[in-house]
Structure 1
Amino acid sequence: MNIIEVMRLPLAVDLSGFIQLLQRLQVPHRVSEEGESQVLWAPDTLAEQVQQLYQRYPDGNADLQLADPADGPDAGERAPAQPSLAAQAKACKVTALTLLLCLVVAGLTGLGENFTTLRWFTFLDFRVQGDYLYFRPLAEGLAQGQWWRLVSPMLLHFGVLHLAMNSLWFWELGKRIELRQGAGALLGLTLLFSVVSNLAQHFTSGPGLFGGLSGVLYGLLGHIWLYQWLAPNRFFALPKGVLVMMLIWLVVCLTGVVGTLGLGQIANAAHVGGLLIGCLTGLLGGALARRKLSA
């Protein structure tokens, strides 16, 4: 399945209602701006159905439900079939590939238990001597060309719950950005948020073991939050309570209560660093998008 151009319309055409309809039907798609036009992209297997849907409901004002085979042989013509998980993954390649890499690294490192392979992905290389870990300075590692360490900790996870929760949130947030802004935007933002959150954690806490997608997740959250605030788009809208819940969790972690309860150490600086850089990119991206719409 390939993502192709389905429709090209003037910027003056309001697609927000139709985009909401596609979102309700869980049809993978994204919209890009090219000059004075806006382009709707969708999987080639659904292109014809999306075009027909737009001809019937350009404002998205249809109370549609997915077809049920029990409704008869013509029921499938009322709306596009709901994409499978595999189809969504193909439409969101960067999101799916990132999660696949996390799963592979979890297997290689034994979820942080195998120090021999763990050291390949940590922010600082280290050696084990007795009961202690001795870390190599950051400047020394970078001088030897180990630049991948600036981003590789995001692939590390320490426990099944850690991996599962981060994967679920990255799937939800990453899909939104990839379908709305494109694969390149998600890849660039993911790498940027990873670098900033890892540097924040390192320079705040000093040499140590840390990892996970959570710093990136807070970056994606901040980006979507402020981008949506400046240039509202229904596809970017987060479920009610998600933003508040994640911000409350951030504050709870900052209090240190999680570590006190023996639930593990939290990379708070990575969370805060990711959120701040995500808010910055959201402000810049949202301001540019708003300027284009008002031009």
Structure 2
Amino acid sequence: MSAVAVLRLPLSVDLGGFVQLLQRMQVPHRVSEEAGEQVLWVPETISDDVRVLYQRFPAGDPDQQLDIPEQAPIKRPGFLQQLRHSPLTALVLLASIIVGAVTLLGENLQVMSWLTFLQFRIVGEYIQFTPLADSLAAGQWWRLVTPMLIHFGILHLAMNGMWYWELGRRIEARQGSINLLGLTLLFSLVSNYAQYVFGGPGLFGGLSGVLYGLLGHCWIFQLLSPNPAYRLPRGVLVMMLVWLLLCLSGLVSMIGFGEIANAAHVGGLVIGCLTGLLGGLYSRRKASL
């Protein structure tokens, strides 16, 4: 359900009392700051009612004159219910766990060689990579996306899995499983190819390139077509972008986190912002019709 701006007020106006009234009435809402104004967003279906309510109670209802019945607190869905609502998100995570188990989190090179971007074989103490064109000519097209399932260590898998669960569920709830699958494969393809082009032949993997794609998608989509599903806490966005800059600076590798697939992160973020731009513009245009 799309949200619309029902109030645009100067920052000097105290909106706190009215926001408390909306909270008492359990009306979905959010307040943002844009161009020196505070903007109140609510679902489009109740926007007219909220405008009328503000005209009557601009300072809220501090004396509780309104008879608002007590409502039972909203229960958060349980884990099994979340799984039923997010089957594709759960499937990608399950595949990552299975691949992590059979590859021994990067230790079983023989199994890894079937999933890496470039096929390779061990020659003595060296790794010899097969040109990408040869693998594709042999029909091994899965290599363009399967590196997202490879993880190097339990922390790598746990962190990427946590963020995919958080971001993937949002997109699956808002745009459906098919769109999440398409975005995941697209972000994996672009981030893997970017890492190959700018990083050269090597062993790389993980969902982090896809995660930056999902982050960019939610970020830009939300700016153009605000909706609760894609509303990320500002701290999360800042943290992810700061982490990207730290990785690009080389500091993260210096303190012992190993080699970072920076090109994959940047490639994922760029393509994610592009899909968010296209999706946000389409959603806004659709809502205006």
Which of the five TM-score ranges fits, normalised by the shorter chain?
0.7 to 0.9
Alignment partners' CA distance in 1, 2:27 and 2:148: 34
Q: 2:234 is paired with a residue of what secondary structure?
A: coil
Q: Which residue of 1 aligns with 2:274?
A: 280
Alignment partners' CA distance in 2, 1:262 and 1:242: 23
Count how many residue pairs are aligned between Structure 1 and Structure 2: 238
Would you say 1:103 and 2:103 are equivalent positions?
no
Aligned to 1:239, which of 226, 230, 233?
Answer: 233
Alignment partners' CA distance in 2, 1:197 and 1:12: 32
Once the two structures are TM-superposed, the CA of residue 282 in structure 1 deviates from its matched residue by 0.4
Once the two structures are TM-superposed, the CA of residue 21 in structure 1 deviates from its matched residue by 6.6
Letter in 1 for 2:102: L
Would you say 1:178 and 2:160 are equivalent positions?
no
Label 1:106 to 1:21 Cα distance change in 2 as closer, same or farther (>3 A). farther
Would you say 1:148 and 2:132 are equivalent positions?
no
TM-score normalized by the length of structure 1: 0.75
Label 1:127 to 1:12 Cα distance change in 2 as closer, same or farther (>3 A). closer
Q: Which runs of 5+ in 1 are unaligned?
A: 1-8, 24-37, 39-53, 62-76
Q: 1:124 is paired with a residue of what secondary structure?
A: coil
Label 1:119 to 1:21 Cα distance change in 2 as closer, same or farther (>3 A). farther
Letter in 2 for 1:111: L
Would you say 1:188 and 2:182 are equivalent positions?
yes
Would you say 1:214 and 2:208 are equivalent positions?
yes
Q: Which residue of 1 aligns with 2:8?
A: none
Alignment partners' CA distance in 2, 1:176 and 1:159: 26
Contact 2:3 2:227 in 1 (8 A): no
Alignment partners' CA distance in 2, 1:125 and 1:175: 32
Alignment partners' CA distance in 1, 2:4 and 2:236: 30
Q: Which residue of 2 aligns with 1:92?
A: 86
Alignment partners' CA distance in 2, 1:224 and 1:255: 25
Once the two structures are TM-superposed, the CA of residue 247 in structure 1 deviates from its matched residue by 0.3
Alignment partners' CA distance in 1, 2:265 and 2:126: 27
Contact 2:148 2:205 in 1 (8 A): yes
Q: Which residue of 2 aligns with 1:137?
A: 131
Once the two structures are TM-superposed, the CA of residue 89 in structure 1 deviates from its matched residue by 1.0
Q: Which residue of 1 aligns with 2:265?
A: 271
Q: Which runs of 5+ in 2 are unaligned?
A: 6-21, 30-42, 54-70
Would you say 1:116 and 2:110 are equivalent positions?
yes
Alignment partners' CA distance in 1, 2:74 and 2:218: 27
Alignment partners' CA distance in 1, 2:4 and 2:283: 15
Letter in 1 for 2:143: R
TM-score normalized by the length of structure 2: 0.76
Alignment partners' CA distance in 2, 1:177 and 1:223: 9
Contact 2:171 2:180 in 1 (8 A): yes
Q: Which residue of 2 aligns with 1:259?
A: 253
Once the two structures are TM-superposed, the CA of residue 206 in structure 1 deviates from its matched residue by 1.0
Per-residue CA distance 1:71-112 (angstroms, 9 max, x = gap) = xxxxxx835643211110111001000000000000000000
Contact 2:89 2:168 in 1 (8 A): yes
Larger deviation, residues 106-115 vs 254-263: 254-263
Letter in 2 for 1:166: N
**Percent identical:** 59
Q: Superposition RMSD on alpha carbons, in Å?
A: 2.9
Would you say 1:204 and 2:201 are equivalent positions?
no
